[in-house]
């Protein structure tokens, strides 16, 4: 008999309607006195739900096991959130978790094909070895999908409830739980009631720091600060400033991909969303992950006052900023807020009686970033080294002199010497490859 109602911690699943229907079918099958003829519609609804889930999430193999695993790895409760990143915990809660995992192990062990015999179909046999129509997923990237499918096989193979529980604890330790565990990057959104939610970004560029050619000193400063943060040491808010196209944003993406396995997560925030920051911080401050609140291309005009709100959030409000949160920003402006020549004058004018105070007000935001890292446009030789390295990585076999001559011609009309310009030039060559114009 399916005893899902006896679970203590794992209850009220977000996608639990299918679980309720399936357990009702299992219990009806187990009751030899009950007539299953009126359950046929429910049976086909369940089959449909599992197939649709496979289409949405890209699952294959045993779809019933995939669904159960999907529920377990996404359910945030006192046990799963305690185990995330840290692993096994002590206390009475383990007994309650063991109770729930015993219930779920029975669901994994249930022979789904017996429903085929009851309803005279072959649907369940297909569901147990399902081949998806493509390799894509609307909701998950390949990494997350494969992780859940692999975990479903591990749980199905567990011989005891204790082994089942150990497997789940190891998963929570390695990858976390829920959307914050499965995903790397997030954005701020709002639900139908206007409440602030943290929404996963399912498709993110897998940039490595090694992909960014040059800038070794700036990258090392960023690595040192981030490494201290994810490993529980003191770290600073970080501002990456400098010329456009020099790899500031790519460096942040590279940092995320390098330290994701150590519990680093990133939340992208735009200026108009600063009013939601307190709600976001409230949702993440007690989790075991390390969060970077990331603000790309941050700058303010004179008439924009959101920077004053940001100052209080970063440092200066009554509530101390949680230790698991840092602010990382990129900007083309050293001081973030637009400055006027008049701001530097000590003479009074009709508009500003205390111009020195105006200067301090505008600088006070950037001073809240304890680490400020400059990314400058490369010199000609550095630019050529970037082009040569990218060409080699992409298999472009072109005479060096011709390559550099074309690259220098390209940068003159495409924004100057930057890493971005070099990458655009390489992409241009790759696009012309089929025409045989540069071999």
DSSP 143-170: HHHHHHHHHHHHHHH--SHHHHHHHHHH
**Which residues on adjacent β-strands are paired with residue 264?**
290
Nearest residue to 327 via CA among 292, 281, 368, 355: 292
Residue 202's pLDDT band (cuts 50, 70, 90): confident
Q: Which two tokens stand for residue 201?
A: 């970004």
Does residue 266 sit in helix, strand or coil? strand
Range of weakest confidence among 95-99, 309-313, 372-376: 309-313
Return the half-sphere exposure (C-beta side, CA atoms, 13 A cut-off) of residue 267: 28
Nearest residue to 428 via CA among 389, 391, 393, 378: 391
The CA distance from 168 to 143, in Å, is 18
Residue 438's pLDDT band (cuts 50, 70, 90): low
Q: Which two tokens stand for residue 333?
A: 């402006």
Phi–psi pair at 293, nearest 5 degrees: -90, 115
Q: Is 226's pLDDT higher than 80?
A: yes
Nearest residue to 125 via CA among 135, 111, 136: 111
For the purposes of burial, counting CB atoms within 10 Å of the CB of 397, is it exposed (0-12), middle (13-18) or buried (19 or more)? exposed
Instruction: State what percent of residues in the chain have pLDDT above 90.
Output: 54
Give residue-wise pLDDT tens across range 160-182. Answer: 999 999 999 999 999 999 999 99
Does residue 99 sit in helix, strand or coil? helix
**What number of H helices and E strands is found in the chain?**
18, 7
Residues 6+ apart with CB under 8 A from 89: 79, 82, 83
Cβ–Cβ < 8 Å for 142, 58? yes
Give residue-wise pLDDT tens across range 19-33. Answer: 999 999 998 887 776
Choose between 380 and 64: higher pLDDT. Answer: 64
Q: Is 347's pLDDT higher than 50?
A: no
Give residue-wise pLDDT tens across range 244-276. Answer: 888 899 999 999 999 998 999 999 999 888 888
Strands 325-331 and 196-200: unpaired
Q: Which two tokens stand for residue 190?
A: 């709002």
- What confidence score (pLDDT) does residue 8 get? 96
Burial 117-148 (b: 16+ CB within 10 A, else e): ebbebebbeebbebebeeeebeebbeebbebb
Residue 304's pLDDT band (cuts 50, 70, 90): low
CB count within 10 Å of CB 178 equals 19
Range of weakest confidence among 100-104, 196-200, 215-219, 360-364: 360-364
DSSP for 374-409?
A: EEPPPPHHHHHHHHHHHHHHTT----HHHHHHHHHH
Instruction: Identify the top-confidence range among 206-215, 218-227, 292-301.
Output: 218-227
- Taking each helix axis from N to C end, the angle separating 93-109 and 161-175, rounded to the nearest 10 degrees, works out to 110
Query: pTM value?
Result: 0.83
Choose between 319 and 258: higher pLDDT. Answer: 258
CB count within 10 Å of CB 290 equals 23
End-to-end C-alpha distance for the chain, whole angstroms: 69
> What is the layout of strands, in order, in the sheet containing 185-190?
196-200, 185-190, 264-268, 290-295, 325-331, 238-242, 371-375
Q: Is 223's pLDDT higher than 50?
A: yes
């Amino acid at each position: 008999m399916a005893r899902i109602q006896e679970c203590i911690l794992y209850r009220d699943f977000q996608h639990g309607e299918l679980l309720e229907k399936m357990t009702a079918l299992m219990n009806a099958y187990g009751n030899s006195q009950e007539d299953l003829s009126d359950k046929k519609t429910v049976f086909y609804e369940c089959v449909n739900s599992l197939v649709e889930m496979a289409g949405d999430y890209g699952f294959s193999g045993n779809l019933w096991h995939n669904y159960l695993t999907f529920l377990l790895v996404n359910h945030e409760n006192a046990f799963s959130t305690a185990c995330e990143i840290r692993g096994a915990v002590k206390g009475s809660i383990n007994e309650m978790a063991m109770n729930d995992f015993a219930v779920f192990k029975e669901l994994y062990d249930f022979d789904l094909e017996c429903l085929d015999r009851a309803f005279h179909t072959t649907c369940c046999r297909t569901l147990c070895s399902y081949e998806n129509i493509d390799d894509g997923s609307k909701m998950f990237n390949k990494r997350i999908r494969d992780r859940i499918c692999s975990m479903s096989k591990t749980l199905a193979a567990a011989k005891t409830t204790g082994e089942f529980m150990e497997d789940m604890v190891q998963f929570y330790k390695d990858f976390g739980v829920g959307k914050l565990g499965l995903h790397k990057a997030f954005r701020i959104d709002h639900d139908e009631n206007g409440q602030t939610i943290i929404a996963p970004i399912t498709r993110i560029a897998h940039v490595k720091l090694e992909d960014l050619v040059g800038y070794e000193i700036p990258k090392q400063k960023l690595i040192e600060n981030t490494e201290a943060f994810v490993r529980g040491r003191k770290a600073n808010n970080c501002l990456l400033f400098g010329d456009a196209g020099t790899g500031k944003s790519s460096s942040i993406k590279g940092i995320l991909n390098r330290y994701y396995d150590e519990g680093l997560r990133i939340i992208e925030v735009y200026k108009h969303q600063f009013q939601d920051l307190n709600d976001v911080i409230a949702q993440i401050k007690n989790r075991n992950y390390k969060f970077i609140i990331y603000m790309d291309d941050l700058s303010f005009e004179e008439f924009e006052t959101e920077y004053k709100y940001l100052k209080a959030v970063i440092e200066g409000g009554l509530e101390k900023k949680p230790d698991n949160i840092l602010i990382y920003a990129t900007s083309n402006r050293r001081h973030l807020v637009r400055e006027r020549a008049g701001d530097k004058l000590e003479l009074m004018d009709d508009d500003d009686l205390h111009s020195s105070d105006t200067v301090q007000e505008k600088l006070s935001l950037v001073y809240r970033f304890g680490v400020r890292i400059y990314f400058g446009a490369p010199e000609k030789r550095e630019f050529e080294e970037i082009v040569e390295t990218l060409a080699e990585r992409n298999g472009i076999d072109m005479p060096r002199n011709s390559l550099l001559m074309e690259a220098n011609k390209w940068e003159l009309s495409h924004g100057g010497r930057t890493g971005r310009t070099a990458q655009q030039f390489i992409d241009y060559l790759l696009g012309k490859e089929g025409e045989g114009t540069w071999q």
